Amino acid sequence: NIYTEKLEEKIKELPVYEGINFIFKSNDELKQLSYAHKIIVASSADNITKHKNYIVDKLNDYTVVQSTPNFLEVLPNNTTKGIGLQEIANIFNYSKDEIMAIGDAENDISMLEFAKYKVAMKNANDSVKKIANFITKSCEEDGAWVCVLCLALQKSCKAVRPEGGAKNEKIRSYVYHSP
């Protein structure tokens, strides 16, 4: 759910709002909410780029990450996907060497930095691709599935190959080592 006082028509046109439930509250009602897991600043990509550094500087007691070209997310300090992944690894007693993270946006970087196997989607932004060990197909091409198939299930790849594929390389060719 997203709680908001208003939603401008031009914001509704952004491609990231499909399936989101908006709950409209007055400004006074919003102030009475006891806790927000995150605050999203939504605007045009140009506007986000133009004001991002200012917002990051002013909110230095918070974690601020860009999750899409149109979103800046403001989170409680030390709240990142990387910290979450580390907590899950501790609970299940996994080492970093057993973890693969897949991402496409700035808000995925901390998670990728924690994992041994860092995978960027083909459509990821450059900052994500820069730290990745591997680059897989795009989100639209089911790149995460391809990556899990090729990396996490390496021993099974020969049994689960594309129709007519004669060798393991047919599958592995979908995942590229990052330079």
Residue 88 pLDDT greater than 50, yes or no: yes
- 130's CB contacts (< 8 A; 6+ apart) are none
Q: What is the pLDDT of residues 38-68, one digit of tens each?
A: 788 878 888 888 888 888 888 888 888 888 8
Lowest mean pLDDT among 31-35, 71-75, 105-109, 152-156: 152-156
pLDDT score at 11: 65
Quote the distance between the C-alpha of residue 154 and its chain's center: 24
pLDDT score at 174: 46
Residue 131 pLDDT greater than 80, yes or no: yes
Residue 103 pLDDT greater than 80, yes or no: yes
Using the Cα atoms of residue 76, residue 80, residue 83 and residue 88 in order, give the sign of their dihedral.
positive
Q: State in Å, rounded, how far the first CA of the chain is from the last one.
A: 40
